[in-house]
Amino acid sequence: MSILLTGGTGFIGSHTAVELIESGYDVIIADNLSNSSASVIDRIEQITGIRPVFYKIDVSDKAALQNLFAEQDIDAVIHFAGFKAVGESVEKPLEYYRNNLDTTLTLLEVMEQFDVHQFVFSSSATVYGSENPYPYTETMKKGSCSNPYGWTKSMIEQILGDAAVANSNLSVVLLRYFNPIGAHESGLIGEDPQGIPNNLMPFISQVAVGKRPKLTIFGDDYDTPDGTCRRDYLHVVDLADAHVKALEYASEHKGVEIFNIGTGTPYSVLEIVHAFEKSNSVAVPYEIGARRDGDLPEFWADAEKAKTMLGWEAKRSLEDMCRDSWNWQKKNPNGYRE
C-alpha cells in the first residue's frame, strides 16, 4: 500500500515515515520544506534502508498535487502539512488560516478526483479549548481555542466531518495529539525548530547543550501540585505508531472517528526538567518567569479509546523521551543544518 504523507519531512511526519516503511508500506512524501530540510529524506533512508519518494511541492498547489496523484497510486493520505507555531499564528492569522485550510481543501478535492478515500489528520488536544474538564475524552464538545492555530485544527475537523457526511466512501481518522517529544533512538531524525524554540523540550535540550543560558519556566503559581503547568507528554515514536494503527482502522471503516493520542499521565514543567537532568546527567539551569498568555494550567488525555479501538497505547517512558531528545540534540547541535 502506498501512503502519501503531506508534511512528511517535518518532526512527526519523518518519524511516521520510518514506522510506516518498517511496517511494509510504500511512503510518498509531499512537503514544501517551509519548516523542514530535504536531508530528512537521506536520514529516513539511513534508518530504514529504503528511500521514500519525495515531491517538493506546496500541498495547496492543486496542479502539483494532481500531478503527484497521477504519477503515484495512492491508497491513503496522512495530512501533517501545516503551520504550527501558536504565538506566530496570533501575529499572522491570515497566513495560518490560508495555509492550514487551503492545504486540507486542496487535498480533499484531489483525493475525490482520484478516488482516494482514506484520510488521517493531525489534530490537536487544543480543540478541547479551555471549557472542558480533564482528562479530555473524545465525546466532549469542542471548546473555544485561544489562538488562530487552534481554530484551524477545530475548523479542519469540521470540514472533514462535513466531507464525510457528503461522501459516504470517505474514512476520516482525527488524531488529537497531546505533547509529542523525544526523537528516533538512532539520533538521526528529531525536532529541529527554527530560531528560538517555542516548545518546552527543544528549549530544555538547547539549554543543556549550552546554546541558551537558561530555561524560563512560565509561571509557578498555578493551581497544580508543584505550581507549574502539567501536560501529557508522549514519545514521538509512539505517536508515529499510532498513525500505523490509524491507517489500519481507516482501511476497515467509513465515516469519522476521533482518537486522543496521549499517555493519560500528566507531568509538570519542573518534573520534566528534573527527569531530563537525571536521565542524561546534565544540568538544566532555569528561572521562574511570568505566565505565558493562553497557557492552560493542566490537561491530559483519557487514552482508553485508542487502546480499545485502535489497539494502540504509549509504550515509552518519560526517561526514554528525555534520553532520546538529548541523544538527538547532542548528535545534531544545529539540527539538520551542517
Which residues carry out catalysis? Answer: 149
Q: Residue 85 or residue 164: which is nearer to ligand NAD going by CB?
A: 85
Q: Which residues in the 181-240 window bind ligand NAD by CB under 6 A?
A: none
Q: Which of 3, 4, 27, 36 binds ligand NAD (CB under 6 A)?
A: 36
Q: Residue 33 or residue 90: which is nearer to ligand NAD going by CB?
A: 33
**Binding region for ligand NAD (CB under 6 A) out of 26-34, 214-222, 275-283, 286-294:** 26-34
* Nearest residue to ligand NAD, scored by beta-carbon proximity: 10
Residue 338 neighbours by CB distance under 10 Å: 5
CB of 124 to ligand NAD, least distance (A): 4
The answer to whether the beta carbons of residues 329 and 206 sit under 8 Å apart is yes
Q: Which residues in the 155-184 window bind ligand NAD by CB under 6 A?
A: 177, 179-180
If one asks whether residue 332 binds ligand NAD (CB under 6 A), the answer comes out as no
If one asks whether residue 59 binds ligand NAD (CB under 6 A), the answer comes out as yes
CB of 123 to ligand UDP, least distance (A): 13
CB of 232 to ligand UDP, least distance (A): 9
If one asks whether residue 103 binds ligand NAD (CB under 6 A), the answer comes out as yes
Q: Residue 84 or residue 323: which is nearer to ligand NAD going by CB?
A: 84
Half-sphere exposure of 9 (CA within 13 A, CB side): 24
If one asks whether residue 260 binds ligand NAD (CB under 6 A), the answer comes out as no
- Residues in touch with ligand NAD (CB under 6 A): 6-7, 9-13, 31-36, 58-60, 80-82, 84, 99, 103, 122, 124, 177, 179-180
